[in-house]
């Protein structure tokens, strides 16, 4: 592969044309149709390792070359910080020379600053469109407003129907593939993403490999067919689609629509995309089974009957209303995957049996959610077929595979009337495994991971060991009992004359699909003032940020509180969502110093403890003059230091809790996650809507929060700024 280092005028002489796959339609690209696939790739941090920007450029060039059947690849590249109000988009021109090694190409890309030069209107023919753009950003940049970038081609602007963004997080890169489903179907786009991840991993694993080896990595090659088909089958199970690829696999006379060796036919790609879209439309008709993964949460009575029809009375143990926090999470399709890693020889059958016992021991795990008369209810099933799948992939790290499998469309992940729980065992070798436990967030909170891991490991070691079962209905019933006049009187007094604080949104009305993005930073808190908890410190600092952004001295936002202090049997180990949303009010007129503010927030927390189970919608209705249905714009979620779960299971087998991979919600909340790490380190993450752009930017909010935390810690006696 050779990097073209020629100046712009040489591009003109060569008649530079962008690589196109698949063929673009005649009608203009519509940003409203944009969808997204995401993945997280572990990256090396050694000094000799090439930059993630170079790795992504090379990997994307190989993928484009395979689909266009051309060794001459041209795509748009946007990296680094924006210049002024614009994003410089450059032409990445790479010519593949199969005998070259990955290391040599990466060295060229990393050392030649002028390898990419910004485009001007004369660089490309006036009729051309840049269909493929790679954007590389780092984790401290606010790239919401720059996605997708505008590309100047031939004197006019065009948005990009295929946008690949890579956000460098130092030890991993978060990759997002934005695509137009009218041009390339969702399933085929996911295959493109899977292939990109595979190439990136190969580049990092063996930098001396020749490029021709990467180009020859076709899923149709005999040695890779089984693993590749297994990966596709598991992906289809997650997405719930049965598309044209399935039909092509079933029919020996059907030519493959997507050969990874560069022999793909563009017309077949387009036909496949069109066929899948029509099959999806048919699948959503009246004959669709209620357990289809394409089902979605809907308040209509028709959908309720369809969802509830699968639950025969004899299969149900009990049914009870969901808490309002559960309903909020269900309507947002929010969930996640607990990932456990196993090192050592693992008995698959014993693990499957342990998963079954785990599901039988906790009612939340064998629950489904349905809608009755407009209210979401939780139904515990007596018996459930264990949703357990084994997936083998010797080419990738099991944790990376788990992350890739979790990067699905959340709106199709947790439909009503189906069991959200899913166990997936990912095996790389005899002693390298990972187990994914996928759940709706209505079934768990951050405390559950300890119970899940310890119980699962105990069942694996000895299936006959008696373990205390947990019944989530007991907590849900207790929450209902806590909706009392005394509680609403307390909240009425606390919130008298208040209004919800909202940061102005400076973004114009957007037509593109809403997605949830995340931006993080870390700050060291060496010590806290006496009597002040870290949670109160974060809430006080966040209130100060809201004050700076709005100019208000009376601040109201929401926090997520822990309900595990309620009088419920085994509440400390109950598997289920034991959390609730309640308001936080901070009045700056009553505080002179930062320490006054911190004590006011801490005192309010103490006062709310007896009434923290009062649910948000009830508080709005019975304790405030706010408009019906009022929602907080921002929600603070604080998590204390969680103990590292590392369990010795015997025979040199160890189990460790590795990660909780979030399946992002679809709401417009601004969520602040604060997570205590070891050594006084505090990780701060803002999860926010792509349609929300505050005046100071998301990074501006995080910067103000970080500075406030350090100021409150270092100088608590200082006067508050007026």
Note the pLDDT of residue 650.
79
Mean pLDDT, residues 551-561: 96
Give me 480's structure tokens: 């209902």
Domain 476-643+663-714 in the same topology as domain 301-474? yes
Calpha distance 454→51 (Å, rounded)? 40
Note the pLDDT of residue 535.
96
Mean pLDDT, residues 53-79: 79
2-18+31-218, what's its fold? Chloramphenicol Acetyltransferase (3.30.559)
Q: Which residue has the higher pLDDT, 252 or 79?
A: 79
Band of the pLDDT at 585, cuts 50, 70, 90?
very high
Note the pLDDT of residue 312.
60
Note the pLDDT of residue 546.
96
Indicate the burial class of 644 (C-beta count within 10 angstroms; 0-12, 13-18, 19 or more): exposed
Lowest mean pLDDT across 156-170, 632-646, 655-669: 156-170
Contact call for residues 417 and 403 (beta carbons, < 8 A)? no
Contact call for residues 363 and 471 (beta carbons, < 8 A)? yes
Note the pLDDT of residue 539.
98
In this structure, the chain runs to a length of 722
Calpha distance 130→123 (Å, rounded)? 12
What is the CB-side half-sphere exposure of residue 712 using CA atoms within 13 A? Answer: 32
CA dihedral 453, 455, 460, 464 (to 10 degrees): 180
Domain 476-643+663-714: top CATH class: alpha beta
Mean pLDDT, residues 490-495: 97
Calpha distance 452→444 (Å, rounded)? 10
Note the pLDDT of residue 638.
94
Sign of the C-alpha dihedral, residues 702, 704, 707, 708? negative
- Which segments of 345-447 does DSSP mark as H helices, in order? 348-361, 398-406
Q: Which residue has the higher pLDDT, 113 or 180?
A: 180
Question: In the predicted model, is pLDDT for residue 705 greater than 70?
Answer: yes
Calpha distance 585→632 (Å, rounded)? 12
Question: Residue ranges of the domains in the chain?
Answer: 2-18+31-218, 301-474, 476-643+663-714
Band of the pLDDT at 252, cuts 50, 70, 90?
very low
Band of the pLDDT at 579, cuts 50, 70, 90?
very high
Q: Which residue has the higher pLDDT, 502 or 64?
A: 502
CA-closest candidate to residue 125, choices 22, 14, 29: 14
Indicate the burial class of 322 (C-beta count within 10 angstroms; 0-12, 13-18, 19 or more): buried
Note the pLDDT of residue 292.
27
Calpha distance 664→647 (Å, rounded)? 29
Task: Classify domain 301-474 by CATH number.
Answer: 3.30.559.10
> Phi and psi of 426, rounded to 5°?
-110, 120
Note the pLDDT of residue 161.
57
Band of the pLDDT at 64, cuts 50, 70, 90?
confident
Question: In the predicted model, is pLDDT for residue 436 greater than 90?
Answer: yes
- At 620-641, the pLDDT tens digits run 999 999 999 999 999 999 988 6
Q: Which residue has the higher pLDDT, 183 or 51?
A: 51
Question: In the predicted model, is pLDDT for residue 380 greater than 90?
Answer: yes
> Phi and psi of 614, rounded to 5°?
-60, 130
Contact call for residues 264 and 435 (beta carbons, < 8 A)? no
Question: In the predicted model, is pLDDT for residue 487 greater than 90?
Answer: yes
Q: What is the DSSP letter of 114?
A: G
Whole-number mean pLDDT of the chain? Answer: 74
Mean pLDDT, residues 365-393: 90
Band of the pLDDT at 689, cuts 50, 70, 90?
confident
SS (H, E, C) 361-373: HEHHHHEEEEEEC
Question: In the predicted model, is pLDDT for residue 46 greater than 70?
Answer: no
Mean pLDDT, residues 456-467: 92
Note the pLDDT of residue 456.
94
Note the pLDDT of residue 431.
86
- At 706-722, the pLDDT tens digits run 999 999 999 999 998 75
Note the pLDDT of residue 255.
33
CA dihedral 455, 458, 463, 468 (to 10 degrees): -40
Number of neighbouring beta carbons within 10 Å of residue 250: 8
As a whole-number percent, the residues of the chain with pLDDT over 70 amount to 67
- Which segments of 69-185 does DSSP mark as H helices, in order? 102-111
**Helix, strand or coil, per DSSP, at residue 280:** helix
Q: Which residue has the higher pLDDT, 569 or 17?
A: 569
Among 144-153, 210-219, 296-305, 693-702, the range with the most confident prediction by mean pLDDT is 693-702
**Helix, strand or coil, per DSSP, at residue 229:** helix
Give me 358's structure tokens: 């785990």
Q: Tell me which H or E stretch contains 132.
A: strand 132-138
Calpha distance 383→361 (Å, rounded)? 11
Sign of the C-alpha dihedral, residues 609, 613, 615, 620? negative
Instruction: Check: pTM over 0.85? Answer yes or no.
Output: no
Calpha distance 213→195 (Å, rounded)? 14
Angle CA(686)–CA(689)–CA(690) in degrees, nearest 5? 115
Q: Residue 196, by phi and psi: left (phi above 0), alpha (psi -120 to 50) or beta?
A: alpha
**Helix, strand or coil, per DSSP, at residue 102:** helix
Instruction: Please give the biggest Cα pair distance in the chain.
Output: 80
Mean pLDDT, residues 536-554: 96
Residues 6+ apart with CB under 8 A from 535: 605, 638, 674
CA dihedral 208, 210, 214, 218 (to 10 degrees): -130
CA-closest candidate to residue 470, choices 540, 384, 367: 367
Q: Which residue has the higher pLDDT, 392 or 127?
A: 392
- At 310-338, the pLDDT tens digits run 456 667 788 999 999 999 999 888 888 89
Number of neighbouring beta carbons within 10 Å of residue 170: 10
């Amino acid at each position: 592969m050779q990097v073209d280092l020629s100046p712009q005028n040489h591009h003109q002489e060569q008649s530079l044309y962008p690589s196109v796959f698949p063929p673009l339609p005649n009608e203009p690209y519509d940003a409203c149709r944009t969808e997204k696939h995401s993945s997280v790739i572990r990256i090396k941090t050694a000094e000799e390792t090439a930059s993630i920007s170079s790795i992504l450029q090379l990997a994307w060039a190989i993928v484009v070359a395979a689909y266009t059947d051309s060794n001459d690849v041209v795509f748009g590249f946007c990296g680094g910080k924006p210049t002024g109000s614009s994003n410089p988009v450059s032409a990445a021109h790479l010519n593949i020379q199969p005998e070259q090694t990955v290391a040599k190409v990466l060295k060229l890309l990393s050392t030649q600053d002028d390898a990419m030069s910004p485009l001007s209107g004369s660089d490309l023919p006036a009729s051309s469109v840049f269909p493929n753009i790679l954007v590389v950003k780092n984790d401290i940049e606010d790239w919401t407003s720059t996605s997708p970038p505008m590309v100047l081609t031939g004197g006019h602007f065009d948005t990009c129907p295929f946008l690949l963004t890579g956000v460098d997080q130092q030890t991993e890169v978060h990759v997002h593939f934005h695509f137009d489903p009218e041009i390339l179907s969702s399933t085929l786009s996911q295959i493109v993403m899977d292939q990109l991840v595979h190439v990136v991993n190969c580049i990092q694993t063996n930098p001396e490999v020749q490029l021709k080896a990467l180009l020859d990595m076709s899923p149709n090659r005999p040695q890779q067919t089984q693993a590749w088909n297994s990966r596709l089958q598991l992906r289809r199970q997650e997405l719930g689609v049965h598309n044209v690829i399935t039909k092509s696999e079933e029919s020996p006379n059907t030519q493959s629509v997507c050969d990874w060796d560069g022999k793909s036919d563009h017309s077949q790609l387009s036909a496949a995309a069109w066929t899948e879209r029509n099959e999806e439309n048919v699948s959503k008709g009246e004959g669709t089974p209620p357990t289809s993964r394409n089902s979605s949460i809907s308040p209509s009575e028709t959908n309720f009957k369809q969802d509830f029809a699968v639950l025969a009375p004899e299969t149900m143990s009990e049914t009870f209303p969901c808490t309002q926090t559960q309903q909020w999470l269900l309507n947002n399709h929010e969930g996640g995957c607990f990932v456990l890693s196993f090192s050592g020889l693992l008995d698959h059958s014993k693990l499957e049996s342990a998963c079954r016992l785990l599901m039988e021991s906790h009612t939340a795990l064998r629950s489904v959610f349905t809608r009755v008369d407009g209210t979401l209810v939780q139904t515990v099933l007596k018996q459930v077929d264990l949703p357990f799948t084994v997936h083998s992939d010797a080419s990738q790290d099991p944790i990376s595979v788990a992350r890739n499998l979790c990067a699905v469309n959340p709106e199709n992940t947790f439909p009503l009337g189906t069991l959200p729980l899913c166990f997936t065992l990912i095996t790389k070798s005899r002693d390298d495994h990972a187990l994914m436990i996928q759940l709706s967030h209505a079934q768990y909170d951050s405390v559950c991971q300890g119970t899940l891991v310890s119980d699962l490991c105990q069942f694996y070691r000895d299936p006959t060991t008696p373990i205390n079962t947990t019944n989530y209905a007991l907590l849900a019933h207790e929450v209902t009992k806590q909706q009392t006049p005394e509680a609403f009187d307390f909240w009425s007094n606390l919130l008298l004359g208040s209004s919800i604080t909202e940061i102005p949104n400076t973004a114009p009305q957007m037509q593109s699909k809403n997605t949830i993005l995340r931006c993080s930073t870390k700050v060291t808190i060496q010590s806290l003032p006496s009597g002040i908890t870290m949670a109160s410190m974060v809430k006080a600092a966040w209130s100060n940020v809201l004050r700076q952004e709005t100019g208000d001295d009376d601040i109201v936002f929401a926090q997520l509180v822990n309900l595990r202090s309620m009088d419920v049997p085994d509440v400390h180990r109950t598997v289920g969502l034991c959390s609730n949303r309640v308001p936080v009010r901070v009045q700056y007129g009553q505080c002179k110093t930062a320490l006054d503010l911190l004590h006011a927030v801490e005192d309010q927390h103490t006062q709310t403890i007896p009434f923290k189970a009062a649910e948000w919608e009830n508080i709005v209705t019975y304790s405030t003059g706010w408009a019906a249905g009022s929602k907080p714009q921002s929600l603070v979620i604080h998590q204390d230091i969680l103990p590292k779960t590392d369990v010795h299971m015997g025979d040199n087998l160890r189990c460790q809790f590795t990660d909780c991979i979030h399946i992002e919600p679809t709401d417009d909340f601004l969520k602040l996650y604060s997570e205590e790490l070891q050594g006084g380190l505090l990780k701060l993450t803002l999860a926010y809507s792509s349609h929300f752009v505050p005046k100071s930017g998301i990074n501006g909010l995080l910067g103000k929060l970080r500075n406030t935390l350090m100021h409150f810690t270092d100088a608590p006696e200082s006067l508050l700024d007026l």
